[in-house]
């Protein structure tokens, strides 16, 4: 007998009929002899409706009250699922975040889980009750409702699994699992049987469509085995788990891309201590996240500094950088919005050489120029002209042998 | 400086625009130098929508989960009102029932308030915060959400006013106050300036359209002055308060009627101890509420027993009574669905004689036959043929001089 945590997203909970399907799937796993905790999201569309109502009321809704409002979405879901399970003859009980309790910090609308007390849930499980927990929400130490941000139900599920020491946390979604790359670009992309926490984190741009990244950090920290699978069939999905020997044998596990960045270069920056801080502090003060930063070796006391920012912040960033560049005596600012970042990810890189050079030559063979390079222990990212994105993803997918069968 | 509790119902909270109006009214009272607690209902229509969703999910929804579900209606309202007040520059904070906390028993969907801890609200008031409390909901001692039943927000408001020792509890609604009778029947009906708790309780059938009866019981128990008034204008409404000399000077305060009852007579019942119990126990086991009961003096060891039941339960009641009547050896059962109960209410009756006989002669002058009579200290009720209801109300209203001006 195992303790299974299952999480169902908004699409799976999208209507009364779909909730009945969820109940049947939950009941089946319970009937197989497992203890069950189910974590659910709001019915699809509900959260958007609630947010729209907030925005109709005022332009900048109070964050505390915003959370009180949007938390109702999951509250409706837990009640419907619990009453459905009961009408099928099962013992079931709903829990709002505060009832567990799931304690978070007070960063409304993006709160972080600090502590989960599993005592009450454990008692319910002991007497055979199926426990239904509202995802996405918690309560802070002052007793105010909080929410975890979009996709936060994944994190709720993993955190509850960690707190209750569950055997597995199954994340049900509308895709079959995590793929080696985006199947819309490479139809031969194959579903990964398993992937390490580290790879999953590096594959943010792939994974975020399926799994909230913070939930992966949580799973990694507490060693929760996460099984990403479809709520529409019984196929095995992808296990997100700790690194093992099988994974290390693979050079590259997946190819990711990101078209949401823009590039800014500051030319002939005096190579003196404190200059980088003068350039980047105003960006961070404006809440602009800088991703890749490349600084070349200095020539005659000057260097070029290149970095990427979210494309949405590009115009704002450019204005700030131009002012800062003038102040530090740089020669000028260059920029490019038409870029994409293509990455290869794999824990196998740690023990295999030549992975990066294979990536570079694969791109160069197609005439794709590499504008920036950045590497981590298990990832190599290249910035290229964004018109080559799909081509680059396809040739890399093939070069590293990731296609099915 | 006073502490004012204001309660706004679903119609007043019916849209974003109406909630803005509520916020302006709240702000005005606050700006006049008062401490403010606002208790609100769900936006009109919302509770019905939530109930419909429950019923779509299953025929007999779990009562605990039903309450989790419908409590979201008020949760949305408090968030919207609090964020609106904040956007207007006021300090405001929402409270769900569990956050106050408003402790109730565990009778889901018709819970009774047992205890309110005003500590947290008092702290907020001290620093000038407008406190917005969800009506209709509470939490039981096991930590489950509960709701108080339809109209429960009135009771929430009065209970909060009692717990915080408020100077007045203003109930805002879509009518101007409590009228001497139903203005749809008697256009000359006048708004009462004040009415005693006892009269208000006796006028259930009038008052229940405006004020939940349980809230009046609460107000009476804790001496809370309730001011029923319109949220659409600034007219003074009706004060529900403890009896005073002015009230006693008035013979009759109001005329009420009730068309929702039916009459059952058991003929020639053997007049022996235990017979009444044998007739009424099966009704109470079937959850049928018996209202008026009349037993005449005995003739030759037999008596007739007549009583009224809710018209909705009439058929069920008749079947039960027929069986019970046969068992106790009664001669037969007679019944009538076409009846109405017309009542005159007033604390002045205590010290004035002749009120009842004036009622009887007024009805008799119009040729209206009285089928049953029942009296309390401050009320006389007559059961008549329901086709005479409007006529009876009109002539009594005139006879007791209740018309305006």
Structure confidence by residue, pLDDT tens digits, B121-135:
999 999 999 999 999
A35-40/A130-134 β-pairing: parallel
**How many residues are there in chain A?**
405
- Rounded to a whole number of angstroms, the distance from the CA of B174 to the nearest CA of chain A is 22
Cβ-based neighbour number of residue B278 at 10 Å: 14
pLDDT in tens, A111-128: 999 999 999 999 999 999
Nearest to B110, CA basis, from B142, B66, B171, B77:
B66
Q: Which residue in B has a C-alpha nearest to residue A50's C-alpha?
A: B76
Q: Which residues of A fall within a CB distance of 8 Å from B120?
A: 143
Least confident stretch, A63-67, A292-296, B59-63:
A292-296
Q: Does the distance separating the beta carbons of A94 and B68 come in below 8 Å?
A: yes
Whether residue A352 is predicted with pLDDT greater than 60 in this model: the reply is yes
Cβ-based neighbour number of residue A292 at 10 Å: 17
Whether residue A205 is predicted with pLDDT greater than 70 in this model: the reply is no
Q: Which residues of B fall within a CB distance of 8 Å from A20?
A: 57
Residue B288: C-alpha distances to residues B282, B291, B310, B357 (Å): 9, 10, 8, 32
Interface contact A57, partner B, CB < 8 A: yes
A102-104/A113-116 β-pairing: antiparallel
Q: Chain B neighbours among A 112-171 (CB < 8 Å)?
A: 120, 143-145
CA within 13 Å, CB half, B293: 8
Interface contact B93, partner A, CB < 8 A: yes
Q: Does the distance separating the beta carbons of A69 and B75 come in below 8 Å?
A: yes
- Name which of B16, B56, B65 to mutate to probe chain A: the one with the most chain A Cβ atoms within 10 A of its Cβ: B65
In the numeric block, which tokens belong to residue A302?
Answer: 């000057």
**How many residues are there in chain B?**
405
Q: Collect all residues with Cβ–Cβ distance below 8 Å to A254 and sequence separation of at least 6.
A: A178, A179, A180, A181, A192, A195, A199, A203, A206, A344, A345, A346, A402
Q: Which residue in A has a C-alpha nearest to residue B17's C-alpha?
A: A57
Q: Which residues of A fall within a CB distance of 8 Å from B20?
A: 57
In the numeric block, which tokens belong to residue A244?
Answer: 């093992």
Interface contact A89, partner B, CB < 8 A: no
In the numeric block, which tokens belong to residue B262?
Answer: 């039916």
Q: What share of chain B is helix, strand, coil (3-state, %, to 5)?
A: 40, 25, 35
- Res A208: pLDDT: 58
Whether residue A341 is predicted with pLDDT greater than 70 in this model: the reply is yes
**Residue A151 φ/ψ region, left for φ over 0, alpha for ψ in the -120 to 50 degree band, beta for the rest:** left
Helices B63-87 and A46-57, axial angle in degrees (round to 10): 30
Q: Does the distance separating the beta carbons of A16 and B80 come in below 8 Å?
A: no
In the numeric block, which tokens belong to residue A51?
Answer: 């947010």
Interface contact B101, partner A, CB < 8 A: no
Residue A26: C-alpha distances to residues A8, A29, A32, A175, B331 (Å): 10, 5, 10, 19, 59
Confidence of residue A274 (pLDDT cuts 50, 70, 90): confident
CA distance linking residue A322 with residue A343, whole number of Å: 29
Cβ-based neighbour number of residue B59 at 10 Å: 8
CA distance linking residue A378 with residue B141, whole number of Å: 52
Confidence of residue B207 (pLDDT cuts 50, 70, 90): low
Domains of chain A: 3-174 (3.40.1160.10)
CA distance linking residue B189 with residue A128, whole number of Å: 60
pLDDT in tens, A144-200: 999 998 789 999 999 999 999 999 999 998 888 999 999 889 999 999 999 999 999
pLDDT in tens, A297-315: 778 889 889 999 999 999 9
Higher pLDDT: A150 or B171? It is B171
Q: List the B261-270 sheet strands across, edge first.
A: B293-295, B302-310, B261-270, B332-336
Q: Where are the beta strands (DSSP E) in A160-248?
A: 168-173, 194-196, 226-230, 238-241
In the numeric block, which tokens belong to residue A88?
Answer: 């099928």
SS3 A269: strand
Q: Which residues of A fall within a CB distance of 8 Å from B87?
A: 57-62
Q: Which helix (H) or strand (E) holds A47?
A: helix A46-57
pLDDT in tens, A50-104: 999 999 999 999 999 999 999 999 999 999 999 999 999 999 999 999 999 999 9
Residue B248: C-alpha distances to residues A298, B203, B242, B286, B348 (Å): 99, 16, 11, 41, 4
| B382 class by beta-carbon count within 10 Å (0-12 exposed, 13-18 middle, 19+ buried) | buried
- Mean residue pLDDT across chain B: 93
CA distance linking residue B338 with residue A59, whole number of Å: 57
Smallest Cβ–Cβ distance between A80 and the set B19, B57, B143 belongs to B57
Confidence of residue B405 (pLDDT cuts 50, 70, 90): low
DSSP structure class, residue A97: G
Interface contact A56, partner B, CB < 8 A: yes
Model confidence, pTM: 0.84
Q: Does the distance separating the beta carbons of B83 and A57 come in below 8 Å?
A: yes
Residue-by-residue DSSP string for A308-334: EEEGGGHHHHHHHHHHHHHHHT-SEEE
Helices (H) and strands (E) in chain A, counts: 13, 20
Cβ-based neighbour number of residue B402 at 10 Å: 24
- Rounded to a whole number of angstroms, the distance from the CA of B335 to the nearest CA of chain A is 39
- Res A287: pLDDT: 85
Q: Which residue in B has a C-alpha nearest to residue A68's C-alpha?
A: B79
Confidence of residue A348 (pLDDT cuts 50, 70, 90): confident
- Res A213: pLDDT: 84
Rg of chain A (C-alpha set): 24
- Rounded to a whole number of angstroms, the distance from the CA of A110 to the nearest CA of chain B is 18
- Rounded to a whole number of angstroms, the distance from the CA of A17 to the nearest CA of chain B is 8
Confidence of residue B319 (pLDDT cuts 50, 70, 90): very high
The interface pTM score, or ipTM, of the predicted complex is 0.82
Residue B49 CA, chain-centre distance (Å), reads: 23
Q: Which residues of A fall within a CB distance of 8 Å from B53?
A: 16, 76, 80
Burial pattern B60-90, b for ≥16 Cβ within 10 A else e, equals: ebbebbbbbbbbbbbbbbbbbbbbbbbbeeb
In the numeric block, which tokens belong to residue B222?
Answer: 């804790």
CA distance linking residue A172 with residue A179, whole number of Å: 15
In the numeric block, which tokens belong to residue B382?
Answer: 């007559």
CA distance linking residue B257 with residue B154, whole number of Å: 23
């Amino acid at each position: 007998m195992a303790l299974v945590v299952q999480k169902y997203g908004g699409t799976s909970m999208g209507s009364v009929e779909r909730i009945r399907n969820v109940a049947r799937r939950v009941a089946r796993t319970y009937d197989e002899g497992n203890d069950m905790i189910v974590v659910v999201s709001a019915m699809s569309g509900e959260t958007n409706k609630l947010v729209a109502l907030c925005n109709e009321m005022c332009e900048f809704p109070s964050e505390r009250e915003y959370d009180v409002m949007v938390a109702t979405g999951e509250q409706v879901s837990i009640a419907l699922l619990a009453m459905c399970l009961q009408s099928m003859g099962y013992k079931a009980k709903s829990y709002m975040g505060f009832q567990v309790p799931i304690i978070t910090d007070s960063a409304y609308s993006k709160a972080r889980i600090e502590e989960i007390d599993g005592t009450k849930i454990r008692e319910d499980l002991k007497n055979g009750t199926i426990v239904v927990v509202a995802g996405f929400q918690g309560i802070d130490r002052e007793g105010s409702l909080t929410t975890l941000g979009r996709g936060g139900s994944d994190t709720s599920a993993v955190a509850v699994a960690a707190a209750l020491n569950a055997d597995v946390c199954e994340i049900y979604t509308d895709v079959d699992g995590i793929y080696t790359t985006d199947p819309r670009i490479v139809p031969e992309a194959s579903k990964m049987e398993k992937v390490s926490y580290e790879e999953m984190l590096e594959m943010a741009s792939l994974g975020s469509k399926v799994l909230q990244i913070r939930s992966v950090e949580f799973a990694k920290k507490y060693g929760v085995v996460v099984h990403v699978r479809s709520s529409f069939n019984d196929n095995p999905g992808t296990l997100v788990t700790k690194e093992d020997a099988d994974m290390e044998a693979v050079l590259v596990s997946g190819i990711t891309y990101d078209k949401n960045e823009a590039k800014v270069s500051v030319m002939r920056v005096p190579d003196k201590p404190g200059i980088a801080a003068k350039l980047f502090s105003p960006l961070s003060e404006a809440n602009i996240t800088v991703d890749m930063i490349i600084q070349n070796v200095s020539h005659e006391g000057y260097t070029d500094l290149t970095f990427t920012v979210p494309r949405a912040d590009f115009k704002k960033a450019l204005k700030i950088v131009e002012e800062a560049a003038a102040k530090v005596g740089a020669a000028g600012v260059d920029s490019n919005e038409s870029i994409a970042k293509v990455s290869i990810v794999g824990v196998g890189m740690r023990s295999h050489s030549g992975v990066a050079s294979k990536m570079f030559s694969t791109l160069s063979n197609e005439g794709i120029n590499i504008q920036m390079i950045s590497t981590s222990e298990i990832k190599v990212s290249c910035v290229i002209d964004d018109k080559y994105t799909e081509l680059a993803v396809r040739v890399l997918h093939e070069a590293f042998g990731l296609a099915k069968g």
